Amino acid sequence: MKYVLGYNAVSYFVSYVLEIPLVKYKTLDVLDRNHGEDMIPIELFDFTSNLFSNCSIEEYERFYNDRGKFTSKKPKNFHNLYSLYTRGKTNVEESYLNQLIKYQKYVSIDGLSAEDSFDKLFQKIKQIVNKTIIDNQLTEIQINQKALLGDSTIEFNRLISTVNLVDLVDLDKSGILRKSIVENYNLEGFNLPHNDKFIYSCKLQSSEDKTLSGIYKQVLATGQPYYRKTYNNDLITYECMRNIYDKDIEGNEILKYTETTQISDNLGISKTLGIDLIGKFSQWKENTNLHSIYNTCMELKEFYNSSENNHQKVL
């Protein structure tokens, strides 16, 4: 039997696309964004149109704060400073720099914003997946026996994990999963390459941000405590590489915050000891979005069907 393991946007999406039951196991917060940005990539227009009749391609605009200098045009070498601050290096993958482009296209449902369209898509997906979701209060994975232990034992022949890679390893009490990853990726112990990251949700209050939010969707910054702020209705989300101890940011009251992880170096693990991995923190792959997740699902669908029909996979 095939199962998807996790309890986040990626697990729901994979379960829906592959029509595989979801075994609930929560290790990631919503703001961790295991799926990448809260946005439906334009490559998934047909996919979204199969679920909603009123879909369109829309775009939003970005603004730049280059060490205190404000501009609507991306400054020269801005990407180097941005990458150095967020990833600790300048030689990042090209897909990571796509978040710096001036205009961002996305699939809109009923004319909604990127985030609201994303939420609407997943409301429908969750309604479908929740009908077969399994809450087993998972406590352990037995790799060799291919079993999930919890309230009951669930045997599997295929398992797709969308949980944080660190938490997946902890579920394997034998330690063979940890050892395999350390050896195959030349890690010094199980130290996955990362930096601390802090996300703050603030109330839109300052007059400057109210003006900017009427024109732009995001502000990308260098030389600031944050590197990106995103406007969404009456809220601002600040993404920072250090903690902020004030009650507000730029005159916008902090409502809540979460500590998460910024991946500094991609491992890009697609499979380990027979377990397929999908998701940013599941694969330890920063350049993840809903389109890349969909493509991986299609590859697995082909592979699973080919294996079950005893056909040799041709590369």
Q: Is the dihedral of CA 36, 37, 43, 49 positive or negative?
A: positive
- pLDDT exceeds 60 at position 313: no
Q: Which residues contact 78 (CB under 8 A, 6 or more apart)?
A: 64, 66, 100, 220, 222
Could you report how far apart the first and last alpha carbons of the chain are, in Å?
25
The structure's pTM equals: 0.94
pLDDT tens string 86-123: 999 999 999 999 999 999 999 999 999 999 999 999 99
- Give Cα 227 to chain centroid, integer Å: 18
Q: pLDDT at position 304, please? A: 85
Alpha helices in the chain (DSSP H): 9-18, 45-49, 78-87, 94-97, 114-129, 165-171, 176-184, 207-213, 280-283, 290-308
- pLDDT exceeds 80 at position 312: no
pLDDT tens string 241-300: 999 999 999 999 999 999 999 999 999 999 999 999 999 999 999 999 999 999 999 999
Taking domain 1-54+110-189+267-315, whether its CATH number is 2.60.40.10 is answered by no
Q: Where are the domains of the chain?
A: 1-54+110-189+267-315, 61-103+194-263
Tally Cβ neighbours within 10 Å of residue 308.
11
pLDDT tens string 168-213: 999 999 999 999 999 999 888 889 999 999 999 999 999 999 999 9
Using H for helix, E for strand and C for coil, what is the string for 76-124? CCHHHHHHHHHHCCCCCCHHHHHHHCCEEEEEEECCCCHHHHHHHHHHH
Q: pLDDT at position 189, please? A: 83
What tokens were used for 87? 């990833």
CB 280 within 8 A of CB 35: yes
CB 196 within 8 A of CB 259: yes
In 3D space, the residue among 34, 71, 39 whose CA is nearest the CA of residue 58 turns out to be 39
Residues of the chain with pLDDT > 70: what percent? 97
- Average the pLDDT over 78-89 and give the result: 96
Residue with tokens 């969308």: 162
Amino acid 227 reads Y
Q: pLDDT at position 314, please? A: 41
Crossing angle of helices 9-18 and 290-308, in 10° steps, is 40
Q: What value does the mean pLDDT of the chain take?
A: 95
Q: pLDDT at position 308, please? A: 64
